């Protein structure tokens, strides 16, 4: 028999019980929508985070004190490492070839105050090159000036949140900010940037690294940033940095080097796994939808018992009866799947409008998988009702009215 | 030609075995017109179903046009029903969501006959039962007599050699009932073997050959 005729017969049967068909289609549609939408959002989050990381620069090497065996995770200290110091930084700067710029980082929290207003905030001690390395932008004034990192001048750059909180109606440039027990003159304000990989760049005060060491009474650095001339130099720069630090730290390998590559790769992996988990959870709703289809088909089979008897009487083969009901179930799931895809696309567009920063996108594999699974669900859950129909005794079926 | 030899049909009802047909021997020649009569429970419908290959005899042999169809598979039996047998039922059994033409078309759709030929044959079949003007009506828009005529068109559209009717007038008033009988007799005159199950003596008496059943056995046979 012509497949098109079979399709028309099934379609006609579905139209015979519109409400039930539409309801079970909606079940599949919701399942497919949630699978596709959640994967799209997961993918969006992945692209967003990795993109954010990539803005830090792919030529960047970050030096952490302490040795860890895994990359990408927060470092766990092994043994008692030597501190990273400004002397280490100077040695790297002078002895490692093919590096463009370096920058130290100390980090602490302190109470900053201006007149009667105060706020607990992150204080970062660094140098002028930090501006370029972290792609910071100044909206007013200037960034920390270049100079000897060992000299701590009493100047600072503040984030927009600090400006808003402490200088609501005042130009902060030239004002004196108290950071802990010390006084700093404000020379610049950062552009609003928002959260970036763990740092709230708006809620932040930047001061020269030597000053920060004084404020927090430390001699060690939290991080050293090194930017290589190019991506291809990264490996040799890493090797050189390691050698120099090993030599300076009593022949001990007690630092960890992180490149954006490894961080990116870890984040990629994490988000892929997360997306798959989300899709799996959404997939459960597809199973529920499948049971809905089975229910509708069982009702359909029992309601159309006389029709099945008649089909047998006019010489329809048992295989054709199975096929007719399977086609019906597949149509239900396929139509539901297509509806779901359309609504998912619509919702993804909507989310792009509402959250333009999150680049939600439906991956091709999600479309294929969702439709495939929907169809599979329809067929799987349609088999039992269809077989039941084909095995019916025609005489009893015809006798039922 | 239908040849039934020693046909028995037993049903298991709980502990008890019901003998619906007991050693039926019956030969029906091509083009014959025969009625099966008897009270309800006499086995006349079971006999019709056996002839129509809808029911399997418990024992005995059934030759249809010389071919042994007793032990065929479900699929082979469905092919016999499709190509050689036309059924008419008391309750018409039209598919309610399909219009008259589509109901007539149904056997040909599943037999894989091409669209153009189907259309032509539907028209011819509806013409022969005088319903071409109602082709696009759904069953619930048709009267009982009209419904049965659609069912007759459907039964003959595949060009069967045997027409089996189970109480074809049981659900109709006298007037449309006699119209239906006349239509079936017309089909018989055109060459179809016709077997009608009825308990209405006035219909039974019209046939040239009458077989009466009681308790699953043939008790009387009258030929005119």
pLDDT band of residue A71 (cuts 50, 70, 90) is: very low
**What tokens does B124 get?**
């011819």
For B41, the 3-state DSSP assignment is coil
pLDDT at A400 over 80: no
Is B24 within 8 Å of B61 (Cβ atoms)?
Answer: no
Q: What is the mean pLDDT of residues A246-262?
A: 84
* More confident of the two residues A338 and A267: A338
pLDDT (tens digit, 9 = 90+) per residue, B119-149? 999 999 999 999 999 999 999 999 999 999 9
Strand A195-196, strand A199-200: pairing: antiparallel
* Chains A, B: CB pairs < 8 Å: 74
pLDDT at A198 over 70: no
Full DSSP string of B47-62: HHHHHTTSS--SEEEE
* More confident of the two residues A307 and A271: A307
Q: What is the mean pLDDT of residues B17-25?
A: 91
**What tokens does A357 get?**
């920063």
CATH number of the domain residue B151 falls in? 3.40.50.300
- Domain extent, residue B117, equals 2-223
The per-residue pLDDT for B87 is 95
Question: How many structural domains is chain B composed of?
Answer: 1
Is B72 within 8 Å of B80 (Cβ atoms)?
Answer: yes
Cα gap B132→A132, rounded to integer Å: 87
Is B81 within 8 Å of A13 when comparing Cβ atoms? Answer: no
Chain B residue numbers touching A394 (CB-CB < 8 A): 54
pLDDT (tens digit, 9 = 90+) per residue, B149-187? 999 999 999 999 999 999 999 989 999 999 999 999 999
Cα gap B135→B131, rounded to integer Å: 7
The per-residue pLDDT for A234 is 83
Is A33 within 8 Å of A343 (Cβ atoms)?
Answer: yes
Q: Nearest chain A Cα to B52, which residue?
A: A313
DSSP A17: T
A183: β partners: A178
First-last CA distance in chain A: 28
Dihedral pair phi/psi, residue B76, rounded to 5°: -65, -40
pLDDT at A58 over 80: no
**What tokens does B117 get?**
């030929």
**Chain A contact residues (CB < 8 Å to B):** 1-2, 5, 9, 12-13, 15-16, 306-307, 309-320, 394-395, 398, 401
DSSP B26: E
- The pLDDT > 90 percentage for chain A reads 32
How far, in whole angstroms, is CA B79 from its chain's centroid? 16
pLDDT (tens digit, 9 = 90+) per residue, A317-349? 999 999 999 999 999 889 999 999 999 999 999
Is A16 within 8 Å of B96 when comparing Cβ atoms? Answer: yes
* More confident of the two residues A265 and A145: A145
pLDDT band of residue B224 (cuts 50, 70, 90) is: confident
Q: What is the mean pLDDT of residues B211-218?
A: 92
């Amino acid at each position: 028999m012509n497949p098109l005729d079979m399709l028309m017969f099934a379609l006609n049967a579905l139209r015979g019980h519109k409400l039930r068909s539409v309801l079970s289609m909606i079940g599949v549609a919701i399942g497919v929508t949630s699978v596709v939408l959640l994967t799209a959002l997961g993918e969006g989050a992945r692209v967003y985070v990795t993109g954010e990381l990539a803005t830090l620069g792919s030529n960047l090497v970050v030096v952490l004190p302490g040795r860890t065996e895994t990359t990408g995770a927060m470092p766990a200290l092994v043994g008692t490492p030597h501190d990273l110091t400004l002397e280490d930084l100077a040695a790297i700067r002078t002895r490692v070839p093919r590096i463009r710029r370096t920058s130290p980082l100390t980090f602490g929290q302190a109470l900053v105050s201006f007149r009667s207003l105060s706020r607990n905030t992150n204080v970062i001690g660094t140098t002028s090159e930090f501006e370029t390395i972290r792609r910071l932008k100044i909206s007013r004034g200037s960034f920390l000036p270049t100079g000897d990192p060992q000299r701590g001048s009493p100047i600072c750059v503040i984030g927009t949140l600090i400006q808003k909180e402490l200088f609501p109606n005042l130009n902060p440039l030239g004002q004196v900010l108290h950071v802990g027990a010390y006084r700093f003159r404000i020379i610049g304000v950062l552009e609003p940037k928002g959260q970036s990989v763990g740092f709230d760049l708006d809620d932040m005060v930047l001061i020269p690294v030597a000053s920060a060491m004084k404020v927090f009474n430390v001699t060690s650095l939290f991080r050293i940033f090194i930017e290589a001339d190019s991506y291809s130099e990264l490996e040799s720069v890493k090797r050189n940095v390691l050698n120099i630090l090993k030599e300076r730290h009593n022949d001990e390998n007690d630092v960890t080097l992180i490149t954006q590559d490894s961080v990116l790769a870890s984040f990629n992996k994490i988000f892929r796994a997360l997306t798959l988990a989300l899709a799996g959870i959404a997939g459960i709703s597809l199973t529920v939808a499948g049971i809905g289809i089975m229910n509708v088909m069982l009702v359909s089979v029992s309601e159309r018992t006389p029709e099945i008897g008649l089909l047998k009487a006019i010489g329809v083969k048992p295989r054709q009866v199975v096929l007719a009901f399977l086609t019906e179930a597949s149509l239900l799931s396929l139509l539901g799947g297509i509806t779901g895809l359309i609504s998912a696309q619509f919702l993804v567009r909507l989310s792009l409008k509402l959250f333009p920063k999150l680049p939600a996108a439906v991956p091709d594999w999600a479309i294929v998988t969702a439709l495939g699974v929907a169809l599979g669900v329809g067929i799987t859950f349609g088999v039992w009702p269809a077989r039941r129909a084909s095995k019916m005794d025609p005489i009893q079926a015809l006798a039922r009215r | 030609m239908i040849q039934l030899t020693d046909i028995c049909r037993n049903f298991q009802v709980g502990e008890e075995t019901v003998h619906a047909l007991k050693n039926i021997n019956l030969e029906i020649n091509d083009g014959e017109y025969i009625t099966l009569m008897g009270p309800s429970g006499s086995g006349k419908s079971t006999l019709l179903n056996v002839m129509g290959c809808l029911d399997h005899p418990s024992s005995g042999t059934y030759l249809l046009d010389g071919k042994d169809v007793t032990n065929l598979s479900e699929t082979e039996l469905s092919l016999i029903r499709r190509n050689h047998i036309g059924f008419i039922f008391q309750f018409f059994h039209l598919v309610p969501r399909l219009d008259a033409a589509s109901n007539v078309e149904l056997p040909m759709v599943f037999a894989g006959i091409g669209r153009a030929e189907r259309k032509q044959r539907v028209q011819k079949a509806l013409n022969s039962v005088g319903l071409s003007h109602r082709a696009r009506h759904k069953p619930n828009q048709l009267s009982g007599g009209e419904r049965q005529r659609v069912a007759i068109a459907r039964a003959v559209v595949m060009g069967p050699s045997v027409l089996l009717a189970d109480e074809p007038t049981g659900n109709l008033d006298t007037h449309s009932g006699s119209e239906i009988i006349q239509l079936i007799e017309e089909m018989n005159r055109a060459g179809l073997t016709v077997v009608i199950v009825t308990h209405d003596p006035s219909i039974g008496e019209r046939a040239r050959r009458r077989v009466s059943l009681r308790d699953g056995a043939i008790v009387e046979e009258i030929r005119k």
